[in-house]
Amino acid sequence: MKHSLASLLMLAITLPALAADPDPTQSTYRWVDEKGQTQYSDRPPPQSIKKFEERRLQPNRGDAQLPFITRKAASDFPVTLYTGRECGKPCDEGRALLTRRGIPFSETKLETTDDVAAFKARFNKDPVAPTLTVGKEMETGYASAAWERLLNDAGYPAAKR
């Protein structure tokens, strides 16, 4: 009984430390030691080293399952789908095309006058739902061939069959 009570007490003490969310960024360090050897570490160099590089690394955001070509295209040419309240079938078809091709995208709903004003200010034109932006390119209204061309030109892979 003493062992199980002690174990339970230890677990209660360590659980908060295990549950704490550590800083999601991590540093790596690079320096040249006294022998002229380049060293890399996740710990700072010895205090005798005055010149070193520190790099902050961000953890993977969960897109590691995507193929490299998709991650590269998404980094260079992010995709945003602008939809409206009364958009219906065209927005559904546009969303389905992006999903079928496995394209990561964000969706912005143009529902309020503030949403519409922000769209006008950003693009200097009245919104049409749906609108697709791929990097700096834009296609208003749903036309699958035009959307496919935009995505292909940005380097996104074709739909999986």
Residue 28 is assigned to a structural domain of this protein: yes
Query: 11 falls in which pLDDT band (50, 70, 90)?
Result: very low
In this structure, the answer to whether residues 33 and 105 fall within a common structural domain is: no
144, 93 Cβ separation under 8 angstroms: yes
Number of domains in the chain: 2
Sheet harboring 105-110: ordered strands across?
105-110, 79-84, 131-134, 137-140
Residue 128 is assigned to a structural domain of this protein: yes
Query: 161 falls in which pLDDT band (50, 70, 90)?
Result: low
- Is the pTM here over 0.85, yes or no? no
The residue among 10, 35, 59 that closes a domain is 59
Residue 67 is assigned to a structural domain of this protein: yes
Could you tell me the CATH number of the domain that includes residue 76?
3.40.30.10
Q: Match 């360090």 to its residue by tokens.
A: 29
In this structure, the answer to whether residues 93 and 126 fall within a common structural domain is: yes
The residue among 59, 87, 104 that closes a domain is 59
**What does the pLDDT look like over 125-146, one tens digit per residue?**
999 999 999 999 999 999 999 9
Helix (H) or strand (E) holding 6: helix 2-19
**What does the pLDDT look like over 14-62, one tens digit per residue?**
444 444 444 445 777 777 888 888 888 888 888 888 787 766 655 545 5
In this structure, the answer to whether residues 75 and 116 fall within a common structural domain is: yes
Residue 50 is assigned to a structural domain of this protein: yes
- Tell me what pLDDT residue 50 has: 77
Mean pLDDT of 79-86: 93
Residue 97 is assigned to a structural domain of this protein: yes
In this structure, the answer to whether residues 122 and 83 fall within a common structural domain is: yes
In this structure, the answer to whether residues 76 and 144 fall within a common structural domain is: yes
- Tell me what pLDDT residue 62 has: 54
- Tell me what pLDDT residue 14 has: 47
- Tell me what pLDDT residue 91 has: 95
Query: Residue 113 belongs to what domain range?
Result: 63-153
In this structure, the answer to whether residues 127 and 143 fall within a common structural domain is: yes
- Give CA–CA dist 119/105, Å, rounded: 17
**CA angle at 30 for the pair 29 and 33, rounded to the nearest 5°:** 120
